[in-house]
Amino acid sequence: MGSRAHYVVKADGSWKRRYTHWGAHSMELDLLAGPNAATRFAQGQQSCDRWLDELECEAAALIDHDERRLLWHSHCYEDVAYRAAVLAVMAPTWPGWRIEWAYGGLYDILDALGEPLHGRFRDRSSFQDDLRAPVRRTAGPSERDDELRGLRRLVEKFDAHQEVDEATQSISLLLHVVGALTSTAHQAGLETQVASDNAFAHRPMDLTDEEKVAVHAAFEAVRNKHSGS
Segments in 114-201 forming alpha helices (H)? 126-130, 141-163, 166-187
Q: How far apart are CA 34 and CA 145, in angstroms?
A: 26
Q: How far apart are CA 176 and CA 187, in angstroms?
A: 17
Exposure pattern of 143-155 as b/e (b: 16+ CB <10 Å)?
eeebbbebbebbb
pTM confidence score:
0.77
Q: How far apart are CA 193 and CA 108, in angstroms?
A: 42
HSE on the CB side for 217, CA within 13 Å? 11
* DSSP code string of 13-29: TEEEEEEESS-GGGHHH
- With the C-alpha atoms ordered 85, 101, 68, 8, is the resulting torsion angle positive or negative? positive
Q: What angle in degrees, to the nearest 10, is found between the helix axes of 80-93 and 141-163? A: 70
Q: What is the pLDDT of residues 26-71, one digit of tens each?
A: 999 999 999 999 999 999 999 999 999 878 899 999 999 999 999 9
Rg for the chain, CA atoms, rounded: 20
Question: From its phi and psi, is residue 27 left (phi > 0), alpha (psi between -120 and 50) or beta?
Answer: alpha
Q: Hey, what amino acid is at 185?
A: A
Domain ranges of the chain: 5-227
- Give the model's pLDDT for residue 2: 77
User: Which regions of the chain are under pLDDT 70?
Assistant: 1, 118-141, 164-179, 182-183, 186, 191-205, 229
